[in-house]
């Protein structure tokens, strides 16, 4: 039974990775962006009240962005992408890309909130009128 489950899992992973690229050439940017997005939303949802006690907007932003930046950095640095670079250049590149990825995630979240607000305003007039 266990062997069958592992075979099904391997088949599922093959189905997910249905391209012919070798793992060395695959970009880890999508995985690091997904990890940044999920971790940012989890930290925002879990620690929102505690972090707001800091009082400074920049300190709150540093707390919110630390874990997503760290996750993106680890994913980018540990991947098989750009192994030909030296340790210093690879560290700098991973740090720069993780910062750019977090900025892109934040901009994408802002655009999504604006679009959801526009959909709500344009399609749901008097939405709360029947909730009395």
Is 61 part of a structural domain of the chain? yes
For 29-62, the pLDDT digits (tens) are 888 888 899 998 888 888 777 777 888 888 888 8
Q: What is the pLDDT of residue 111?
A: 96
pLDDT-based confidence at 123, cuts 50/70/90? confident
| Residue 1 is assigned to a structural domain of this protein | no
More confident residue, 131 or 96: 96
Range of the domain at 70: 27-123
Give the torsion sign (CA, 41, 107, 78, 86). Answer: negative
DSSP code per residue over 31-86: HHHHHHHHHHHHHHHHSHHHHGGG--HHHHHHHHHHHHHHHHHHHHHHSSTTTTS-
2 located within any domain: no
Count of structural domains, the chain: 1
Q: Is residue 3 part of a domain?
A: no
Q: Is residue 107 part of a domain?
A: yes
Instruction: With respect to residue 101, please indicate whether it lies within any of the assigned structural domains.
Output: yes
| Six token digits for residue 83 | 């192994």
């Amino acid at each position: 039974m266990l062997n069958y489950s592992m075979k099904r899992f391997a088949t599922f992973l093959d189905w997910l990775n249905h391209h012919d690229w070798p793992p060395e050439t695959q970009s880890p940017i999508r995985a690091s962006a997904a990890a940044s997005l999920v971790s940012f939303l989890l930290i925002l949802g879990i620690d929102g009240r505690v972090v707001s006690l800091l009082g400074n907007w920049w300190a709150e932003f540093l707390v919110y962005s630390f874990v997503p930046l760290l996750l993106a950095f680890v994913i980018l640095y540990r991947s098989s992408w750009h192994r030909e670079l030296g340790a210093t250049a690879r560290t700098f590149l991973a740090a720069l890309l993780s910062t750019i990825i977090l900025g892109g995630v934040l901009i994408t979240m802002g655009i999504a909130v604006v679009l959801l607000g526009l959909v709500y305003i344009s399609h749901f007039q008097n939405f709360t009128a029947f909730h009395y």
